Chains A and B, each alone.
Chain A
Amino acid sequence: MSHNILIVAEHDGSTLSVATAKCVACAATVPDAHITIAVCAADASAVAAQAAALAGVERVLTLEHPLHAHPLAAAIAPQIAALAGPYSHVFGPSSTFGKDLMPRIAALLDTAQVSDIMAVESATRFRRPIYAGNAIITVEVLEGAKVVGTVRTASYQAAGAGGRAAIESADPGVEPPAHTRFVSVSTAGGDRPDLQTAAKVLSGGRALGSAESFQILYRLADKLGAAVGASRAAVDAGYAPNELQVGQTGKIIAPELYIAIGISGAIQHLTGIKDARTIVAINKDPEAPIFEVADIGLVGDLFEIVPQIEQLIG
Protein backbone atom coordinates (compact mmCIF):
# COMPACT_ATOMS: atom_id res chain seq x y z
CA MET A 1 0.00 0.00 0.00
CA SER A 2 1.38 3.39 -0.86
CA HIS A 3 1.58 6.10 1.77
CA ASN A 4 1.16 9.78 1.04
CA ILE A 5 3.10 11.80 3.56
CA LEU A 6 2.70 15.50 4.13
CA ILE A 7 5.58 17.32 5.82
CA VAL A 8 5.15 20.84 7.19
CA ALA A 9 8.26 22.84 6.30
CA GLU A 10 10.15 24.77 8.94
CA HIS A 11 11.91 27.86 7.64
CA ASP A 12 12.70 31.48 8.43
CA GLY A 13 11.18 32.99 5.31
CA SER A 14 14.25 32.54 3.16
CA THR A 15 15.98 29.30 4.20
CA LEU A 16 14.48 25.86 4.69
CA SER A 17 15.54 24.41 8.06
CA VAL A 18 17.69 21.30 8.02
CA ALA A 19 15.06 19.87 10.41
CA THR A 20 12.75 19.57 7.40
CA ALA A 21 15.35 17.57 5.46
CA LYS A 22 15.52 15.26 8.47
CA CYS A 23 11.75 14.82 8.41
CA VAL A 24 12.08 13.82 4.77
CA ALA A 25 14.69 11.23 5.76
CA CYS A 26 12.31 9.85 8.40
CA ALA A 27 9.32 9.86 6.04
CA ALA A 28 11.36 8.02 3.42
CA THR A 29 11.61 5.04 5.81
CA VAL A 30 7.84 4.57 5.75
CA PRO A 31 7.14 1.78 3.24
CA ASP A 32 6.21 3.02 -0.23
CA ALA A 33 6.29 6.67 0.81
CA HIS A 34 5.24 9.51 -1.48
CA ILE A 35 6.41 12.73 0.07
CA THR A 36 4.87 16.19 -0.21
CA ILE A 37 6.18 19.27 1.58
CA ALA A 38 3.86 22.13 2.51
CA VAL A 39 5.45 25.57 2.78
CA CYS A 40 3.42 28.20 4.64
CA ALA A 41 5.01 31.60 4.10
CA ALA A 42 4.29 35.18 3.17
CA ASP A 43 6.38 34.59 0.04
CA ALA A 44 7.16 30.90 -0.38
CA SER A 45 9.25 30.97 -3.57
CA ALA A 46 12.79 30.65 -2.13
CA VAL A 47 11.88 28.04 0.48
CA ALA A 48 9.74 26.04 -1.95
CA ALA A 49 12.65 25.81 -4.38
CA GLN A 50 14.89 24.41 -1.64
CA ALA A 51 12.20 21.94 -0.58
CA ALA A 52 11.72 20.80 -4.18
CA ALA A 53 15.43 20.03 -4.45
CA LEU A 54 15.45 17.54 -1.57
CA ALA A 55 15.93 13.94 -2.64
CA GLY A 56 12.75 11.92 -2.26
CA VAL A 57 10.30 14.82 -2.38
CA GLU A 58 7.65 14.48 -5.09
CA ARG A 59 5.58 17.60 -4.60
CA VAL A 60 5.79 20.96 -2.88
CA LEU A 61 2.66 22.88 -1.96
CA THR A 62 2.90 26.58 -1.20
CA LEU A 63 0.37 28.29 1.06
CA GLU A 64 0.99 32.01 0.95
CA HIS A 65 -0.59 34.47 3.35
CA PRO A 66 0.75 37.64 4.98
CA LEU A 67 0.04 36.10 8.41
CA HIS A 68 2.60 33.39 7.65
CA ALA A 69 5.44 35.93 7.77
CA HIS A 70 6.06 34.46 11.23
CA PRO A 71 5.04 30.90 12.00
CA LEU A 72 1.91 30.91 14.17
CA ALA A 73 0.46 27.51 15.02
CA ALA A 74 -3.05 28.92 15.22
CA ALA A 75 -2.75 30.24 11.66
CA ILE A 76 -0.97 27.26 10.09
CA ALA A 77 -2.82 24.36 11.75
CA PRO A 78 -6.28 24.86 10.22
CA GLN A 79 -4.74 25.27 6.77
CA ILE A 80 -2.69 22.09 6.98
CA ALA A 81 -5.64 20.21 8.48
CA ALA A 82 -7.76 21.30 5.54
CA LEU A 83 -5.20 19.87 3.11
CA ALA A 84 -4.54 16.67 5.04
CA GLY A 85 -7.42 14.59 3.65
CA PRO A 86 -5.47 12.58 1.04
CA TYR A 87 -2.48 11.94 3.31
CA SER A 88 -1.93 8.94 5.58
CA HIS A 89 0.80 10.73 7.57
CA VAL A 90 1.46 14.35 8.53
CA PHE A 91 4.94 14.99 9.89
CA GLY A 92 6.80 17.95 11.34
CA PRO A 93 10.11 18.29 13.17
CA SER A 94 10.39 17.93 16.92
CA SER A 95 11.74 21.48 17.14
CA THR A 96 9.88 24.21 19.03
CA PHE A 97 8.18 25.01 15.70
CA GLY A 98 6.88 21.47 15.22
CA LYS A 99 6.14 20.83 18.89
CA ASP A 100 3.97 23.93 18.94
CA LEU A 101 2.19 23.22 15.68
CA MET A 102 1.69 19.48 15.18
CA PRO A 103 -0.58 18.71 18.17
CA ARG A 104 -2.87 21.52 17.04
CA ILE A 105 -3.10 19.86 13.63
CA ALA A 106 -3.66 16.42 15.20
CA ALA A 107 -6.56 17.70 17.31
CA LEU A 108 -8.21 19.34 14.29
CA LEU A 109 -7.91 15.99 12.51
CA ASP A 110 -9.28 14.21 15.59
CA THR A 111 -6.25 11.97 15.68
CA ALA A 112 -3.56 11.06 18.21
CA GLN A 113 0.00 12.30 17.78
CA VAL A 114 3.20 10.29 18.01
CA SER A 115 5.81 12.66 19.45
CA ASP A 116 9.58 12.38 18.84
CA ILE A 117 9.64 9.54 16.33
CA MET A 118 13.15 8.04 16.46
CA ALA A 119 12.51 5.03 14.24
CA VAL A 120 9.82 3.86 11.85
CA GLU A 121 9.10 0.13 12.12
CA SER A 122 6.14 0.07 9.75
CA ALA A 123 3.63 2.58 8.43
CA THR A 124 1.79 2.39 11.74
CA ARG A 125 4.54 1.42 14.18
CA PHE A 126 7.07 3.82 15.67
CA ARG A 127 9.72 3.96 18.36
CA ARG A 128 9.94 6.98 20.64
CA PRO A 129 11.65 7.96 23.90
CA ILE A 130 9.76 8.62 27.14
CA TYR A 131 10.93 9.54 30.66
CA ALA A 132 13.64 11.83 29.33
CA GLY A 133 14.96 9.04 27.14
CA ASN A 134 15.24 6.53 29.97
CA ALA A 135 12.79 4.24 28.23
CA ILE A 136 12.03 3.64 24.58
CA ILE A 137 8.55 2.56 23.62
CA THR A 138 7.15 1.05 20.46
CA VAL A 139 3.70 2.44 19.67
CA GLU A 140 1.17 1.24 17.15
CA VAL A 141 -1.33 3.64 15.63
CA LEU A 142 -4.75 2.08 15.13
CA GLU A 143 -5.34 0.78 11.63
CA GLY A 144 -6.97 3.37 9.40
CA ALA A 145 -6.19 6.36 11.61
CA LYS A 146 -4.13 9.21 10.19
CA VAL A 147 -0.66 9.39 11.72
CA VAL A 148 0.40 12.82 12.95
CA GLY A 149 3.96 12.79 14.20
CA THR A 150 6.92 14.88 15.19
CA VAL A 151 10.32 13.62 14.09
CA ARG A 152 13.18 13.51 16.57
CA THR A 153 15.66 15.18 14.29
CA ALA A 154 18.76 13.94 16.18
CA SER A 155 17.85 10.41 15.04
CA TYR A 156 18.10 11.20 11.33
CA GLN A 157 20.65 12.37 8.79
CA ALA A 158 19.27 15.12 6.54
CA ALA A 159 17.98 14.01 3.15
CA GLY A 160 20.38 15.05 0.41
CA ALA A 161 19.91 17.09 -2.72
CA GLY A 162 18.90 15.85 -6.15
CA GLY A 163 15.12 16.12 -6.00
CA ARG A 164 13.10 17.84 -8.71
CA ALA A 165 9.66 18.08 -7.21
CA ALA A 166 6.81 19.99 -8.81
CA ILE A 167 5.84 23.19 -7.00
CA GLU A 168 2.14 24.04 -6.84
CA SER A 169 0.27 26.66 -4.95
CA ALA A 170 -2.50 25.37 -2.71
CA ASP A 171 -5.55 27.16 -1.41
CA PRO A 172 -7.07 25.39 1.56
CA GLY A 173 -9.92 27.93 1.64
CA VAL A 174 -9.51 28.66 5.36
CA GLU A 175 -8.81 32.18 6.58
CA PRO A 176 -6.29 32.11 9.46
CA PRO A 177 -7.63 33.53 12.75
CA ALA A 178 -6.59 37.00 13.95
CA HIS A 179 -6.61 36.20 17.67
CA THR A 180 -2.88 35.47 17.79
CA ARG A 181 -0.37 38.13 16.81
CA PHE A 182 3.38 38.04 16.42
CA VAL A 183 5.08 40.84 18.37
CA SER A 184 8.83 40.25 18.23
CA VAL A 185 11.66 37.77 18.30
CA SER A 186 15.10 38.20 19.81
CA THR A 187 18.12 36.07 19.18
CA ALA A 188 21.36 36.41 21.08
CA GLY A 189 23.20 34.25 18.56
CA GLY A 190 26.11 35.78 16.67
CA ASP A 191 27.87 34.08 13.78
CA ARG A 192 28.95 30.96 15.69
CA PRO A 193 27.98 27.55 14.31
CA ASP A 194 24.38 26.55 14.99
CA LEU A 195 24.04 24.39 18.08
CA GLN A 196 21.66 21.97 16.43
CA THR A 197 23.73 21.22 13.36
CA ALA A 198 27.32 21.77 14.51
CA ALA A 199 29.71 18.82 14.33
CA LYS A 200 31.39 19.95 17.54
CA VAL A 201 29.72 21.36 20.63
CA LEU A 202 31.30 22.71 23.78
CA SER A 203 28.90 23.07 26.70
CA GLY A 204 29.29 24.76 30.05
CA GLY A 205 27.48 24.24 33.33
CA ARG A 206 26.92 25.91 36.65
CA ALA A 207 30.62 25.55 37.46
CA LEU A 208 31.46 28.41 35.09
CA GLY A 209 30.08 30.71 37.77
CA SER A 210 29.35 33.81 35.67
CA ALA A 211 28.60 35.11 32.21
CA GLU A 212 32.15 36.50 32.13
CA SER A 213 33.71 33.09 32.79
CA PHE A 214 31.52 31.65 30.07
CA GLN A 215 33.62 33.70 27.66
CA ILE A 216 36.47 31.21 28.07
CA LEU A 217 34.20 28.62 26.46
CA TYR A 218 33.36 30.91 23.56
CA ARG A 219 37.07 31.49 22.99
CA LEU A 220 37.86 27.79 22.96
CA ALA A 221 34.80 27.06 20.83
CA ASP A 222 35.97 29.56 18.24
CA LYS A 223 39.34 27.83 18.07
CA LEU A 224 37.69 24.44 17.66
CA GLY A 225 35.05 25.69 15.23
CA ALA A 226 32.49 24.44 17.74
CA ALA A 227 29.05 25.64 18.76
CA VAL A 228 28.44 26.55 22.40
CA GLY A 229 25.80 24.91 24.57
CA ALA A 230 24.84 25.11 28.24
CA SER A 231 23.16 23.20 31.02
CA ARG A 232 19.90 24.42 32.44
CA ALA A 233 21.65 25.57 35.61
CA ALA A 234 23.95 27.80 33.54
CA VAL A 235 21.01 29.26 31.62
CA ASP A 236 18.89 29.76 34.73
CA ALA A 237 21.78 31.59 36.37
CA GLY A 238 22.03 33.90 33.37
CA TYR A 239 25.48 32.73 32.22
CA ALA A 240 24.14 31.79 28.79
CA PRO A 241 20.98 32.59 26.77
CA ASN A 242 18.07 30.12 26.78
CA GLU A 243 18.55 28.97 23.20
CA LEU A 244 21.85 27.36 24.21
CA GLN A 245 20.21 24.94 26.66
CA VAL A 246 20.84 21.29 25.90
CA GLY A 247 18.61 18.58 27.33
CA GLN A 248 15.08 17.34 27.88
CA THR A 249 13.65 20.83 27.81
CA GLY A 250 16.32 22.39 25.64
CA LYS A 251 17.85 21.09 22.45
CA ILE A 252 18.41 17.45 21.56
CA ILE A 253 21.64 17.33 19.60
CA ALA A 254 23.79 14.73 17.89
CA PRO A 255 27.23 16.22 17.22
CA GLU A 256 30.35 14.23 16.38
CA LEU A 257 32.02 15.66 19.48
CA TYR A 258 30.38 16.93 22.66
CA ILE A 259 32.55 18.42 25.40
CA ALA A 260 30.78 18.92 28.73
CA ILE A 261 32.63 21.32 30.99
CA GLY A 262 31.59 21.70 34.61
CA ILE A 263 28.33 19.87 34.00
CA SER A 264 27.27 17.17 36.47
CA GLY A 265 25.30 15.06 34.01
CA ALA A 266 21.72 15.07 35.31
CA ILE A 267 19.43 12.73 33.35
CA GLN A 268 17.58 15.72 31.93
CA HIS A 269 20.84 16.99 30.48
CA LEU A 270 22.00 13.59 29.20
CA THR A 271 18.76 13.20 27.23
CA GLY A 272 19.99 15.96 24.99
CA ILE A 273 23.29 14.29 24.08
CA LYS A 274 22.46 10.57 23.85
CA ASP A 275 23.24 10.53 20.15
CA ALA A 276 26.52 12.43 20.33
CA ARG A 277 29.25 10.29 18.74
CA THR A 278 32.00 11.10 21.26
CA ILE A 279 31.34 12.65 24.67
CA VAL A 280 34.16 14.30 26.59
CA ALA A 281 33.64 15.33 30.21
CA ILE A 282 35.76 17.74 32.23
CA ASN A 283 34.71 17.87 35.85
CA LYS A 284 36.53 18.19 39.14
CA ASP A 285 34.31 15.60 40.83
CA PRO A 286 35.47 12.07 39.84
CA GLU A 287 32.05 10.74 40.89
CA ALA A 288 30.05 13.12 38.66
CA PRO A 289 27.42 11.12 36.71
CA ILE A 290 28.59 12.68 33.44
CA PHE A 291 31.58 10.29 33.59
CA GLU A 292 29.18 7.33 33.27
CA VAL A 293 28.39 8.36 29.70
CA ALA A 294 31.68 10.02 28.76
CA ASP A 295 33.92 8.32 26.19
CA ILE A 296 36.81 10.40 27.46
CA GLY A 297 36.85 11.76 31.00
CA LEU A 298 39.24 14.25 32.56
CA VAL A 299 39.04 14.97 36.28
CA GLY A 300 40.23 18.42 37.18
CA ASP A 301 39.55 22.12 37.52
CA LEU A 302 38.11 23.57 34.35
CA PHE A 303 39.69 26.96 35.04
CA GLU A 304 43.10 25.29 34.70
CA ILE A 305 42.25 22.77 31.98
CA VAL A 306 40.38 24.98 29.50
CA PRO A 307 43.25 27.50 29.14
CA GLN A 308 45.71 24.60 28.82
CA ILE A 309 43.70 23.07 25.98
CA GLU A 310 43.47 26.43 24.32
CA GLN A 311 47.22 26.88 24.53
CA LEU A 312 48.01 23.35 23.34
CA ILE A 313 45.88 23.54 20.23
CA GLY A 314 47.45 26.93 19.51
Chain B
Amino acid sequence: MKRILVGIKRVVDYNVRIRIKPDGSGVLTEGVKMSVNPFDEIALEEALRIKERGAAEEVVVVTVGPADCQAQLRTCLAMGADRALHVQSDTALEPLVTARVLRALTEREQPFLVLLGKQAIDDDNGQTGQMLAALWDRPQATFASKLDIADGKAQVTREIDAGLETLEVDLPAVVTVDLRLNEPRYVKLPDIMKAKKKPLETLTLESLGVVARAQLKTLRFEPPAQRQKGVRVKDAAELIAALKQKGLL
Protein backbone atom coordinates (compact mmCIF):
# COMPACT_ATOMS: atom_id res chain seq x y z
CA MET B 1 0.00 0.00 0.00
CA LYS B 2 1.31 3.45 -0.88
CA ARG B 3 1.32 5.10 2.49
CA ILE B 4 2.22 8.50 3.94
CA LEU B 5 3.12 8.82 7.60
CA VAL B 6 2.45 12.20 9.22
CA GLY B 7 3.89 13.12 12.62
CA ILE B 8 1.84 15.51 14.70
CA LYS B 9 2.48 17.11 18.08
CA ARG B 10 0.00 18.47 20.59
CA VAL B 11 1.14 21.96 21.57
CA VAL B 12 -0.19 25.07 23.31
CA ASP B 13 -2.32 26.86 20.72
CA TYR B 14 -0.38 29.51 18.82
CA ASN B 15 -2.80 32.25 19.96
CA VAL B 16 -2.16 31.67 23.66
CA ARG B 17 0.22 34.02 25.44
CA ILE B 18 2.15 31.56 27.53
CA ARG B 19 3.05 32.20 31.15
CA ILE B 20 5.92 30.83 33.15
CA LYS B 21 5.33 29.13 36.50
CA PRO B 22 6.38 31.44 39.33
CA ASP B 23 9.04 28.97 40.50
CA GLY B 24 10.60 28.83 37.03
CA SER B 25 9.98 25.09 36.70
CA GLY B 26 8.02 25.23 33.48
CA VAL B 27 5.29 26.83 31.43
CA LEU B 28 1.70 26.93 32.69
CA THR B 29 -0.36 24.56 30.55
CA GLU B 30 -3.29 23.88 32.85
CA GLY B 31 -6.56 25.09 31.38
CA VAL B 32 -4.70 26.37 28.32
CA LYS B 33 -6.04 25.65 24.83
CA MET B 34 -4.08 22.89 23.12
CA SER B 35 -3.97 22.28 19.38
CA VAL B 36 -2.22 20.34 16.67
CA ASN B 37 1.10 22.09 15.96
CA PRO B 38 0.24 24.44 13.03
CA PHE B 39 3.02 23.10 10.82
CA ASP B 40 1.77 19.56 11.37
CA GLU B 41 -1.72 20.50 10.17
CA ILE B 42 -0.06 21.68 6.98
CA ALA B 43 1.85 18.40 6.74
CA LEU B 44 -1.40 16.46 7.12
CA GLU B 45 -3.20 18.66 4.59
CA GLU B 46 -0.45 17.97 2.06
CA ALA B 47 -0.66 14.23 2.68
CA LEU B 48 -4.43 14.34 2.14
CA ARG B 49 -4.01 16.27 -1.10
CA ILE B 50 -1.44 13.77 -2.37
CA LYS B 51 -3.89 10.96 -1.59
CA GLU B 52 -6.74 12.85 -3.27
CA ARG B 53 -4.61 13.19 -6.38
CA GLY B 54 -4.25 9.42 -6.38
CA ALA B 55 -0.54 9.38 -5.57
CA ALA B 56 -1.06 7.72 -2.17
CA GLU B 57 -3.53 5.20 -0.80
CA GLU B 58 -3.39 5.72 2.93
CA VAL B 59 -2.55 8.55 5.32
CA VAL B 60 -1.50 7.51 8.82
CA VAL B 61 -1.02 10.09 11.58
CA VAL B 62 1.15 9.43 14.58
CA THR B 63 1.81 11.25 17.79
CA VAL B 64 4.07 10.47 20.71
CA GLY B 65 2.80 11.78 24.02
CA PRO B 66 0.40 11.41 26.92
CA ALA B 67 -3.21 10.17 26.67
CA ASP B 68 -4.53 13.73 26.10
CA CYS B 69 -2.93 13.70 22.64
CA GLN B 70 -5.69 11.43 21.40
CA ALA B 71 -7.92 14.50 21.08
CA GLN B 72 -5.52 15.93 18.49
CA LEU B 73 -5.33 12.57 16.71
CA ARG B 74 -9.13 12.61 16.46
CA THR B 75 -8.94 16.08 14.92
CA CYS B 76 -6.54 14.68 12.32
CA LEU B 77 -8.86 11.76 11.62
CA ALA B 78 -11.68 14.26 11.16
CA MET B 79 -9.52 16.20 8.71
CA GLY B 80 -9.27 13.01 6.66
CA ALA B 81 -6.44 10.79 7.92
CA ASP B 82 -7.31 7.09 7.56
CA ARG B 83 -5.92 5.87 10.86
CA ALA B 84 -4.00 7.07 13.85
CA LEU B 85 -1.20 5.73 16.01
CA HIS B 86 -0.71 6.92 19.55
CA VAL B 87 2.66 6.09 21.02
CA GLN B 88 2.30 6.56 24.74
CA SER B 89 4.77 8.57 26.74
CA ASP B 90 3.91 10.55 29.84
CA THR B 91 7.15 12.47 29.87
CA ALA B 92 8.15 14.91 27.12
CA LEU B 93 10.70 13.30 24.84
CA GLU B 94 13.72 14.82 23.16
CA PRO B 95 13.57 15.05 19.34
CA LEU B 96 16.14 12.26 18.98
CA VAL B 97 13.86 9.88 20.88
CA THR B 98 10.81 10.95 18.87
CA ALA B 99 12.89 10.42 15.74
CA ARG B 100 13.70 6.89 16.95
CA VAL B 101 10.01 6.20 17.44
CA LEU B 102 9.28 7.43 13.92
CA ARG B 103 12.18 5.37 12.61
CA ALA B 104 10.68 2.24 14.19
CA LEU B 105 7.34 3.11 12.63
CA THR B 106 8.86 3.43 9.16
CA GLU B 107 9.83 -0.25 9.54
CA ARG B 108 6.33 -1.18 10.57
CA GLU B 109 4.39 0.99 8.14
CA GLN B 110 6.79 1.18 5.18
CA PRO B 111 5.71 4.69 4.08
CA PHE B 112 7.07 6.15 0.84
CA LEU B 113 6.90 9.59 2.43
CA VAL B 114 7.06 10.93 5.96
CA LEU B 115 5.69 14.44 6.38
CA LEU B 116 6.47 16.45 9.49
CA GLY B 117 6.31 20.07 10.54
CA LYS B 118 9.50 22.10 10.25
CA GLN B 119 9.29 22.82 13.95
CA ALA B 120 7.03 22.35 16.94
CA ILE B 121 6.03 25.80 18.18
CA ASP B 122 6.42 24.92 21.87
CA ASP B 123 10.09 23.92 22.07
CA ASP B 124 11.03 25.42 18.68
CA ASN B 125 13.60 22.66 18.21
CA GLY B 126 13.24 21.99 14.49
CA GLN B 127 15.14 18.72 14.71
CA THR B 128 12.90 15.68 14.46
CA GLY B 129 12.60 15.37 10.67
CA GLN B 130 16.30 15.75 10.00
CA MET B 131 17.12 13.27 12.78
CA LEU B 132 14.66 10.74 11.40
CA ALA B 133 16.16 11.10 7.93
CA ALA B 134 19.63 10.45 9.37
CA LEU B 135 18.56 7.39 11.37
CA TRP B 136 16.63 6.04 8.39
CA ASP B 137 19.51 6.87 6.04
CA ARG B 138 17.07 8.51 3.63
CA PRO B 139 16.89 11.95 1.94
CA GLN B 140 15.47 14.97 3.70
CA ALA B 141 13.90 18.11 2.30
CA THR B 142 13.20 20.66 5.01
CA PHE B 143 11.07 23.85 4.99
CA ALA B 144 9.02 22.75 1.97
CA SER B 145 6.74 25.25 0.26
CA LYS B 146 5.98 23.06 -2.77
CA LEU B 147 5.99 19.32 -3.22
CA ASP B 148 5.56 17.28 -6.40
CA ILE B 149 5.67 13.52 -6.48
CA ALA B 150 6.28 11.41 -9.58
CA ASP B 151 8.20 8.29 -10.61
CA GLY B 152 9.50 7.38 -7.19
CA LYS B 153 10.95 10.85 -6.70
CA ALA B 154 9.90 14.08 -5.07
CA GLN B 155 10.69 17.60 -6.26
CA VAL B 156 10.64 19.87 -3.27
CA THR B 157 10.87 23.65 -3.21
CA ARG B 158 12.37 24.83 0.07
CA GLU B 159 12.18 28.24 1.72
CA ILE B 160 15.79 29.09 2.50
CA ASP B 161 17.45 32.31 3.64
CA ALA B 162 18.54 33.14 0.11
CA GLY B 163 15.15 32.55 -1.50
CA LEU B 164 13.72 29.33 -2.91
CA GLU B 165 15.71 26.17 -3.52
CA THR B 166 14.49 23.11 -5.38
CA LEU B 167 15.80 19.63 -4.59
CA GLU B 168 15.03 16.29 -6.12
CA VAL B 169 15.04 13.37 -3.71
CA ASP B 170 14.54 9.65 -4.16
CA LEU B 171 11.67 8.16 -2.21
CA PRO B 172 11.17 7.19 0.51
CA ALA B 173 12.12 10.51 2.04
CA VAL B 174 11.37 12.82 4.94
CA VAL B 175 9.87 16.21 4.11
CA THR B 176 9.32 18.92 6.73
CA VAL B 177 6.83 21.57 5.79
CA ASP B 178 6.77 25.35 5.97
CA LEU B 179 3.74 27.60 6.31
CA ARG B 180 3.22 28.47 2.67
CA LEU B 181 2.89 24.88 1.43
CA ASN B 182 -0.91 24.96 1.68
CA GLU B 183 -3.87 26.09 3.78
CA PRO B 184 -5.28 23.32 5.91
CA ARG B 185 -8.97 22.53 5.46
CA TYR B 186 -11.55 23.13 8.16
CA VAL B 187 -13.01 20.17 9.94
CA LYS B 188 -16.76 19.76 9.40
CA LEU B 189 -19.11 18.44 12.05
CA PRO B 190 -20.10 15.21 10.22
CA ASP B 191 -16.39 14.45 9.80
CA ILE B 192 -15.91 14.66 13.55
CA MET B 193 -18.65 12.03 13.97
CA LYS B 194 -17.10 9.82 11.30
CA ALA B 195 -13.67 10.18 12.86
CA LYS B 196 -14.89 8.49 16.03
CA LYS B 197 -15.18 5.23 14.08
CA LYS B 198 -11.75 5.41 12.47
CA PRO B 199 -9.01 3.18 13.90
CA LEU B 200 -6.78 4.64 16.62
CA GLU B 201 -4.14 2.23 17.84
CA THR B 202 -2.14 2.69 21.02
CA LEU B 203 1.48 1.59 21.14
CA THR B 204 4.21 1.73 23.75
CA LEU B 205 7.82 2.79 23.42
CA GLU B 206 8.85 -0.71 24.56
CA SER B 207 6.85 -2.40 21.82
CA LEU B 208 8.79 -0.30 19.31
CA GLY B 209 12.09 -1.03 21.02
CA VAL B 210 12.75 2.61 21.88
CA VAL B 211 14.27 3.76 25.17
CA ALA B 212 13.22 7.20 26.43
CA ARG B 213 16.77 8.34 27.00
CA ALA B 214 17.21 11.96 28.12
CA GLN B 215 20.45 13.74 27.28
CA LEU B 216 19.34 17.25 28.16
CA LYS B 217 18.08 18.65 31.41
CA THR B 218 16.16 21.93 31.58
CA LEU B 219 17.32 23.74 34.68
CA ARG B 220 15.27 26.92 34.52
CA PHE B 221 12.47 28.73 32.69
CA GLU B 222 12.53 32.53 32.64
CA PRO B 223 10.53 35.22 30.92
CA PRO B 224 12.45 37.12 28.23
CA ALA B 225 13.93 40.52 29.05
CA GLN B 226 11.30 43.25 28.75
CA ARG B 227 11.87 46.26 26.56
CA GLN B 228 11.63 49.67 28.15
CA LYS B 229 8.49 51.62 27.51
CA GLY B 230 8.76 53.80 24.42
CA VAL B 231 7.53 57.24 23.46
CA ARG B 232 4.82 58.38 21.04
CA VAL B 233 5.54 61.02 18.44
CA LYS B 234 2.78 62.95 16.71
CA ASP B 235 3.96 63.17 13.12
CA ALA B 236 6.66 62.40 10.59
CA ALA B 237 8.71 65.48 11.51
CA GLU B 238 8.82 64.50 15.19
CA LEU B 239 9.75 60.97 14.23
CA ILE B 240 12.68 62.17 12.19
CA ALA B 241 13.80 64.47 14.98
CA ALA B 242 13.68 61.59 17.46
CA LEU B 243 15.72 59.36 15.14
CA LYS B 244 18.28 62.10 14.60
CA GLN B 245 18.59 62.55 18.34
CA LYS B 246 19.40 58.86 18.69
CA GLY B 247 21.98 59.19 15.94
CA LEU B 248 20.04 56.86 13.69
CA LEU B 249 19.58 59.30 10.83
User: Residues of A at under 8 Å CB distance from B?
Assistant: 12, 70, 72-74, 77, 95-97, 99-108, 110-116, 125, 129-142, 145, 177, 179-189, 196, 200, 224, 232, 235-236, 241-243, 248-249, 251, 256-257, 267-268, 274, 278-280, 282, 291, 293-300, 305, 308-309, 312-313
Contact = CB atoms under 8 A, between A and B. Distances in A.
Nearest to B156: A183
A138 B221 CA distance: 7
B126 A99 contact: yes
Interface magnitude class on chain B: 35 or more
Tell me if A's interface is mostly helix, strand, loop or mixed: mixed
Contacts of B122: 130-131
Nearest to A73: B140
Interface of B: 12, 14, 17-18, 20, 27, 94-96, 99, 118-119, 121-135, 137-143, 145, 155, 158-170, 173, 178-180, 214-224, 227-228, 230-240, 242-243, 246, 248-249
A107 B130 contact: yes
B88 to A, nearest CB: 22
A257 to B, nearest CB: 5
A115 B126 contact: yes
B221 A135 contact: yes
Contacts of B135: 107
A135 B222 contact: yes
A139 B130 contact: no
Contacts of B227: 279, 293, 295
Nearest to A131: B18
B149 to A, nearest CB: 15
Given A73-B140, A267-B17, A182 B167 contact: yes
A313 B248 contact: no
B95 A294 contact: no
B104 to A, nearest CB: 14
A79 B242 CA distance: 52
A264 B231 CA distance: 17
